[in-house]
Amino acid sequence: MTTAPVANQLPQTLEPRNPGTAFDLDWAMDVRINTSAVERRCATLPGRRSIKKSHQAAWLCRAISCIDLTTLSGDDTKGRVRRLCAKARQPVSQAMLEELGLPDLQVGAVCVYHDMIETAVQALQGTGIPVAAVSTGFPAGLSPFHLRVAEIEESVKAGAKEIDIVISRRHVLTQNWQGLFDEMAAFRKACGDAHVKAILATGELGSLRNVARASRICMMAGADFIKTSTGKESVNATLPVTLTMIRAIRDFYARTGFRVGYKPAGGISKAKDALMYLALIKEELGDRWLRPDLFRFGASSLLGDIERQLDHHLTGAYSAAHRHPIG
C-alpha cells in the first residue's frame, strides 16, 4: 500500500449531496450475501496489508482527520465537552504536528448529545470543525416519531451541521421496507442543510443480508452517510459488516452517480484496527472515499492510541497512555 496523502494537504472537494431516489423494493431485495465468503475476505486482510514506518504514520494521520471525536455519556459536562473540542482542534501535541509537517491537522467532527451542541459550537468557533449531534431517540430510537423529527429540527437550529439518526430496527426485522424508507426520508427532510448519518445498529439486524438491504433503503431515502452502530449495542462495527455496507455504497454509486459516506462506530480503539478499515475502504471504494467528507470513524479512545503510535514513529519509544490525554 502506498503512502496516503493527509487530508489537509488536499483540496477538500465536497460531493453533491445524495438527493435520494424513488422507492424501489425490487432493487433493495436483489441482494445476495455469502457470509462465509465475506468473513474469509476480511480474515485475509491483516496478512495482506502490512503498513510500516512513514507510510504507517501518513495513514494514521489520515485516520485522525476522519475521526468523529465523540462523547456520549450520561455524565457529560460542559467542561468535558470543551476539553474534547480542544483535543479536536489539536489532536496531537504541537511539537509532533510540526515534526510530521502537519501543523493544521484536525479531526473530522465532534459528536455530542443535543444539550451539548451550543457548548461545542462555541468551543470550535473559527476552526471549520463541524458539530455532529446524535438524534431521534438515540440509541434505541423508540421515542414517538414526531418527537424524533422535532429533536432533529432542534439540533439543527442549535448549530449542528451533521445529525446522526437511528433507524427503527423493527422495520428491518419485520421486513417493513416501505416504513424504513418513509422514516428515513422524513429524517432527511427535517435535517435541511445538515448532513444526515443513518445509524443501522447492525449488531441488532440479524443478518448481513438485512444489513445490505437496510443500507440500500436508507441511501434511496437520501442518507448522506450510513453508519454501523450507536456504540451502545453488544456488537458494533466489524469488518464483515463494513464490507457489506461499503459494497452497498459502491452499488448505489454505480446506479445513481452519487457518493454516500461510511462511518464505522463502536469498538474501534486501536490504531492497527483503524488501518484495516482504511485499507478495506481503499480496496473496495478507492481513494476518493478516504477523505473526511466521505469517511469517518465514530470513536473516542482511538485517537489516544494513534497518538502513541505516532510518538513511537518519531522517537522510537512507546510513551505511557496518560501522556496523551483524550480531553
Q: What confidence tens digit (pLDDT) does each residue in 270-306 have?
A: 999 999 999 999 999 999 999 999 999 998 889 999 9
Catalytic residue annotation: 164, 227, 263
Taking each helix axis as running N to C, give the angle between helix 35-43 and helix 239-256, from 0 to 180 degrees, rounded to the nearest 10: 110
Transcribe 116-139 into DSSP letters: GHHHHHHHTTTT-PPEEEE-SSTT
Transcribe 170-228 into DSSP letters: HHHHTT-HHHHHHHHHHHHHHHTTSEEEEE--GGGSSSHHHHHHHHHHHHHTT-SEEE-
| C-alpha distance from residue 161 to each of 110, 164, 191, 290 (Å) | 10, 10, 9, 20
The C-alpha atoms of residue 73 and residue 113 are separated, in whole angstroms, by 9
Q: Which CATH superfamily is domain 24-323 in?
A: Aldolase class I (3.20.20.70)
pLDDT band at 13 (very low <50, low <70, confident <90, very high): low
- Every domain of the chain and the residues it spans: 24-323
Round the average pLDDT of the chain to a whole number and report it.
92
| C-alpha distance from residue 7 to each of 94, 108, 181 (Å) | 17, 10, 33
Residue 27: alpha-carbon gap to chain centroid = 25
Reported pTM: 0.93
pLDDT (mean) for 243-260: 98
Which residue type sits at 69? L
Per-residue model confidence as pLDDT tens digits over 91-146:
998 889 899 888 899 999 999 999 999 999 999 999 999 999 999 999 999 999 99
The C-alpha atoms of residue 226 and residue 203 are separated, in whole angstroms, by 14
| C-alpha distance from residue 148 to each of 16, 134, 153, 233 (Å) | 26, 11, 9, 20
pLDDT band at 1 (very low <50, low <70, confident <90, very high): very low
Residue among 262, 230, 232 at smallest CA distance from 246 = 262
The C-alpha atoms of residue 320 and residue 323 are separated, in whole angstroms, by 6
Transcribe 14-38 into DSSP letters: PPPP-------HHHHH-----HHHH
Residue among 154, 156, 223 at smallest CA distance from 183 = 223
